[in-house]
């Protein structure tokens, strides 16, 4: 959907503020990290490839880059891009802490996006939000901001209906107490 929107809108210039970034389990549970760069490109997809490469994320593991590459909108290889300005070598952040969880659709690269086994693995073994009861103040921020309304408050504590959960992780991003973790099963970790 994000690739569809981008190709429809046809941005003329995309700018990424990477002066200060967020590493770790962001955004609310992440940590600010000084990177010191501003990136710009006529192609938002090439911009994402450069940004991912800069912090050590393999562009082929990012679903929007995968979809754009499949449509012939970009290459996922940094060496295929024409870079201007400071040398990339000077901008690399070699110890950037990448979030532990990845999107649930990454299994598609092994089984195909319409595969029954891929959907089964994503549903039963994919990453899912886990609410840490210790530290939760029962504010209901997670339930109130859950796009598919998969979270309900029971006795002032969140409970998630995984059949409704779309794995957007808004609950983790918006938790002021940082009491939402993303649980990943052993089988899902093997597909990284």
* CATH code of the domain containing 124: 3.30.70.20
**pLDDT digits (tens), the chain, 192 positions:** 889 999 999 999 999 999 998 888 666 667 888 999 999 999 999 999 999 999 988 998 888 899 999 999 998 888 888 888 888 888 899 898 887 655 445 555 566 656 777 667 767 777 888 999 888 999 999 999 999 999 999 999 999 998 888 888 889 888 888 899 888 776 555 555
Domain range for 140 is 104-189
pLDDT of residue 26: 64
Please identify, among 91, 120, 145, the residue that sits at the C-terminal boundary of a domain. 91
Domain boundary among 37, 66, 91: 91
Pairing of strands 151-154, 128-131: unpaired
DSSP labels, 104-124: GGGGHHHH-TT-HHHHHHHHH
Name, in order, each residue with C-beta under 8 angstroms of 134's C-beta and a sequence gap of 6 or more: 179
Q: Which two tokens stand for residue 141?
A: 């921020």
């Amino acid at each position: 959907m994000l690739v569809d929107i981008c190709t429809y809108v046809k941005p003329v210039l995309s700018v990424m503020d990477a002066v200060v970034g967020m590493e770790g389990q962001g955004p609310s549970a992440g940590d600010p990290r000084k990177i010191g760069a501003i990136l710009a490109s006529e192609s938002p997809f090439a911009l994402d490839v450069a940004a991912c490469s800069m912090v050590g994320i393999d562009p082929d593991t990012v679903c929007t880059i995968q979809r754009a590459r499949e449509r012939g909108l970009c290459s996922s290889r940094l060496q295929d891009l024409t870079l201007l300005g400071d040398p990339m070598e000077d901008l690399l952040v070699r110890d950037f802490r990448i979030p532990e969880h990845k999107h649930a659709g990454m299994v598609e690269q092994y089984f195909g996006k319409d595969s029954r086994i891929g959907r089964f693995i994503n549903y039963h073994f994919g990453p899912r939000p886990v609410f840490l009861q210790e530290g939760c103040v029962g504010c209901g921020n997670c339930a109130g901001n859950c796009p598919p309304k998969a979270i309900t408050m029971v006795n002032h504590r969140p409970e998630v209906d995984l059949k409704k959960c779309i794995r957007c992780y808004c609950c983790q991003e918006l938790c002021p107490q940082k009491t939402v973790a993303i649980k990943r099963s052993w089988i899902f970790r093997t597909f990284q």
